[in-house]
A and B are shown apart, each in its own frame.
Chain A
């Protein structure tokens, strides 16, 4: 049963130079207890999508169309007040990109974790701090550090604190935007293990946004590949990696060097990432696609089922 269902989400940014079609008709669903990886390069719209779910889009951006159904209820129709009180942090949390820099340097980490608990759950300061302490323990940090200031902690620890903060009110869904970029390899691996552990232990559902396919391969159950504001392929991680359907997915997988396996010459994806104000006509990937045909220029392909639980949008399938 899909816990979160995003249907035809469309978010545009209305700028002086033109309208940036950041997210242009995206369909996604997140099943309960699963980790959905959203992969794409910068400009694919993945962060914008996450912000749209949290209703954090500010002018000049606006959610133009679409529905976001949380257990059947469209949260886009809720009032600002309802979103703030019932949805944000209570049911869906967001870990921002570069979040470890978002910590307030003047407040202890304990207080920062406690803050959402006090606001949402109504606990008093002492109980909230206790909960914060135990949260620190569950993310692998010594609970005694609850009185430390951010500058006393390493990058990896700060990221763990962001995770603790996101979990403070026991949400059902956590969206993590590039949680391991900017972290050293070993620290990043630690964070990924932590996320995997927490997810299995608490059964929460996650949306993991990243440009790194390796991270997705290692930690996600399901994958959605985004390109130029649209989802081009989605399905279970094994089927996507074993039998990728969309040309972009195929090329993307081939563009990742690995430290294991046969050494082969990797092929670059020709062309450059698209302009979102004036995206290519028809299929947005067609100027860079090896297999592009005439129809690809004219018509936007439909998102269709190509295998069990495996969907792609391409005219060649």
Chain B
């Protein structure tokens, strides 16, 4: 359903006078050539640490941020090339996002009723009298019951978990086919997380959603996603079915990342596959593989040419020269 090709986002940085004279422009290449497919009904997890570009990728796919290059095909149409405002609006209805921050992403001066009614009103989805019913239905779906008590409340009167539930259900009122979830539980208390994740899973099934799930927490990715793509410095270094990638990672970065995740089992204390500490700055230009300065397996070719994603087993892709 969704195909992303070679997506790029370069942020231009102010140059010093010296650079302007020498005509050098510096860029932060937040996303530098990212490609993936998501089939209907599937969930792809985009995993990475801070600075890997996963959040920017999510924004690019929905065109919330103007791209520097690349294409995003949703049901055959290139989202990034649409110029007609109405068409874009209809598209927005079909491609939605659940945000991460329940404190900043709800309008502070509107009641729950108004917040949930808004998307319905914007697209005139239901008539005025139906509005109240729909809103109550939505509240019940996310277990904010009895709905009547929540309608008149303002966001600051609700707990973090309750706010997050509103963030989850609001975009679903538009009945989209595709949804991006941007770290939907990272700002919520630990004991609440599973509740919201389970809710998400239920809704996903009920609405038959296709998902792009962004997270830095590999354990959550494993719980929720069918496929996983690991990002490093703006590029995907490994992607494939969740069990394959997380169970048996090939790329050195993926290996290090996955081995570093602590397991909640004291009997299972594994050594961490190491990598060098880095002070690479986001504006640095690279030759060859982005990871090679930190890679303990680095070979000569790694510093010269950037590896492409290659399929090494069923649907499992890796960008590395290691097993060449």
Contact = CB atoms under 8 A, between A and B. Distances in A.
A123 interface: no
Nearest to B294: A186
A265 B201 CA distance: 11
A64 interface: no
A263 B277 CA distance: 33
A251 B195 CA distance: 12
Given A42-B189, A241-B266, A258 B219 contact: yes
B218 interface: yes
B262 A273 contact: no
B194 A218 contact: no
B194 A258 contact: no
B49 interface: yes
Given A186-B257, A257-B194, A268-B195, A156 B50 contact: no
A5 to B, nearest CB: 24
A193 B272 contact: yes
Given A184-B49, A185-B49, A268-B198, A214 B191 contact: no
A259 B219 contact: yes
A154 B263 contact: no
B246 A259 contact: yes
Contacts of B50: 184
B248 to A, nearest CB: 12
Interface residues of B, number: 40
Contacts of A260: 263, 265, 268
A214 B263 contact: yes
B161 interface: yes
B122 interface: no
Interface string A41-78: 11000000000000000000000000000000000000
Given A237-B266, A257-B219, A261-B263, 12 more contacts: A154-B279, A186-B256, A186-B275, A190-B260, A214-B264, A218-B263, A257-B222, A259-B263, A266-B198, A266-B223, A268-B191, A273-B189
21 contacts: A42-B189, A154-B278, A186-B275, A189-B260, A192-B262, A217-B263, A217-B264, A217-B265, A217-B266, A241-B264, A241-B265, A255-B191, A255-B193, A256-B219, A258-B264, A259-B258, A266-B223, A268-B195, A269-B195, A273-B159, A273-B191
Query: 8 tightest A-B contacts by CB?
Result: A268-B195, A189-B260, A214-B262, A184-B49, A257-B219, A257-B223, A214-B264, A268-B194
